[in-house]
Structure 1
Amino acid sequence: MNPASPHDVPEVPQHPGWTPIAEEAERAARVLHPEENQLPRPTKRRILTVANQKGGVGKTTSTVNLAAGLAIHGLKTLVIDLDPQGNASTALNVEHRSGTPSVYEVLLGETTLAEAAAVSEQSPNLLCVPATIDLAGAEIELVSMASRESRLKEALSDDALDELGVDYVFVDCPPSLGLLTVNAMVAAREVLIPIQCEYYALEGLGQLLSNIELVQAHLNPELSVSTIVLTMYDGRTKLADQVTNEVRNHFGEVVLKTVIPRSVKVSEAPGYGQTVLAYDPGSRGAMSYLDAAREIAERGARGGTTEKGAGA
């Protein structure tokens, strides 16, 4: 299967005589006027854990931009920042100084999900439970607790999520396979794996899939890898195409058709406390994440996801 280049995504109808600037303005209008492009609601609430223990693969970037893409087009979306670095909280411009109600207190049972959830400036439909520096010691504290692997699942109960009225939950994991990531996998039914289109893309992926299998076998039999998103695609290199083909051949329909290009705008946006959809809505990176969000929404609206076992 030929990889889907960002240029190939059917973003805008081609109008005779339009300049590239005019076409980009039209693409931006899709983000700036989302009421005209509402996405369908899922048949049931979806909780996706975004995991990859390899750093620098676009995990947090994908989490916040996919969540924003769904939210600005009418779907109530919650981001759980489970990474002590708090990068998702930064990108969504949500307060996460020490002492702020956060996922740390939620895991310890000291506060409720609704009390810790803050509304992002990006969209009234976008909520975030932030991570503070206190989360850094949480794995050590959780070791001695009862049901230590299920603390997040208990917090993300149907009643708690009904109170917030969310359609989608994205859990942004730390770049490790520790107890926080295990909590995220126990709390979800789906794993979303970002894979960068670079030389070491598949390094460590086997260990991640093995861990997912262990969670399936012992803690959460409903867990599956439902979505893979290819990130940092550089169409100028043969290597990007080779990695894309290898991933598609191995994982099949689990891989989104939309590929996220390597983009300076995507990298710059968190520095301004924004997703790329807010920072530069007409950019290729913004439109790619929007198209990926649409794919996810359409899968959810069909009443099921394309799932593949971890060991496949």
Structure 2
Amino acid sequence: MALVLAVVNQKGGVGKTTTAVNLAASLAAREHRALLVDLDPQGNATSGVGIARDQGDRTTVYHALLGEADARSAVLPTEVPNMFLLPSSADLVGAELELVSMEERESRLREALDGVRDAYDYVLIDCPPSLGLLTINALVAADRVLVPLQCEYYALEGLGSLLRTIDLVKGSLKPELEMEGVVLTMFDARNNLARQVMKDVQKNLRGLVYETVIPRNVRLSEAPSHGRPAILYDIESKGAQSYLQLAEELVQRHRSAAVQLKHA
């Protein structure tokens, strides 16, 4: 059964969608079946893999969330072998209001994904840049939380709110939810501030920060406008190679954890 990761940061512009798209693509490139769930009403993960956000009567994550359709019927293949998409929809903008009056409103996404997660090795949920009901649904559906963090002065600003939200979800809705880790993004080694931020984050979040650091990279920034993950747009670029390395680190982390559990 798939490992479900919620890719979360309520602060916009930190590389959240870039990480969700490119990590899913990189896992797929390493021959793991990966499902990318676009839960952000902006739909950037959907367009980022070359699929138009709204196409008439197409079934989307919105319909699965509200119980109007089976999630399996909404899943689309992408240009990357082994990578699939549960697309976003503009209807998600009003979904939080619609969910408020529903039973089990925080668990709707988990119920929707229960029917598909056995078909994949990894499910990555691209969350909206907020801590509203959609993000709560993602946290309840997830096994673990991955936080992209930009290497800038205000990097840790807002992280406290996110960690408190995760603790609340653990306490009342999903006791088994755990932190997967923090991925540093948009790193510029020439920038003294970026290097200092990296040291501060590694010190304050000891044990949680991935060794792989995602650089600030032009090709990585260009790829979404071409509707392609970086490994298809320019696999030799530093951005693409960094996400391939991140995927390998993720896989090795869980392989090691599984071995330790087996011998415990």
Q: Which category of TM-score, normalised to the shorter sequence, fits these structures?
A: over 0.9
1:299 to partner: Cα distance? 1.1
Kindly report which structure 2 residues correspond to 1:218-229, keeping only aligned pairs within 5 A, or say none. 218-229=172-183
Q: 1:249 to 1:300 in 2, by over 3 A?
A: same
1:160 to partner: Cα distance? 2.7
Kindly report which structure 2 residues correspond to 1:261-276, keeping only aligned pairs within 5 A, or say none. 261-276=215-230
Pairing partner for 1:190 from 144, 151, 164? 144
1:300 to partner: Cα distance? 1.8
Q: TM-score, normalised by structure 2?
A: 0.95
The corresponding residue for 2:210 is 256
**Residue 133 (1) aligns with residue 90 (2):** yes
The corresponding residue for 1:99 is 57
1:68 to partner: Cα distance? 0.3
- 1: CA distance between counterparts of 2:151 and 2:101? 40
**Residue 160 (1) aligns with residue 116 (2):** yes
- Note the residue ranges of structure 2 that are not aligned, 5 or more in a row: 260-264
1:302 to partner: Cα distance? 2.0
1:250 to partner: Cα distance? 1.8
1:227 to partner: Cα distance? 1.7
The corresponding residue for 2:262 is none
The corresponding residue for 1:237 is 191
Pairing partner for 2:8 from 51, 72, 76? 51
Kindly report which structure 2 residues correspond to 1:106-185, keeping only aligned pairs within 5 A, or say none. 106-123=64-81, 125-157=82-114, 159-162=115-118, 165-185=119-139
What is the percentage of aligned positions where both structures have the same residue?
Answer: 51
- 1: CA distance between counterparts of 2:30 and 2:50? 19
Structure 2 SS opposite 1:258: coil
1:241 to partner: Cα distance? 1.2
- 1: CA distance between counterparts of 2:134 and 2:101? 14
Contact persistence 1:94–1:118 (CA under 8 A) = no
Structure 1 SS opposite 2:210: strand
Aligned residues: 259
- Note the residue ranges of structure 1 that are not aligned, 5 or more in a row: 1-43, 306-312
1:52 to partner: Cα distance? 0.3
The corresponding residue for 2:168 is 214
Contact persistence 1:95–1:130 (CA under 8 A) = no
1:96 to partner: Cα distance? 2.5
Contact persistence 1:182–1:215 (CA under 8 A) = yes
| Aligned residue identity for 2:70 | T
Structure 2 SS opposite 1:253: coil
The structure with the largest alpha-carbon Rg is 1
Contact persistence 2:5–2:146 (CA under 8 A) = yes
Higher mean Cα deviation, 210-219 or 251-260? 251-260
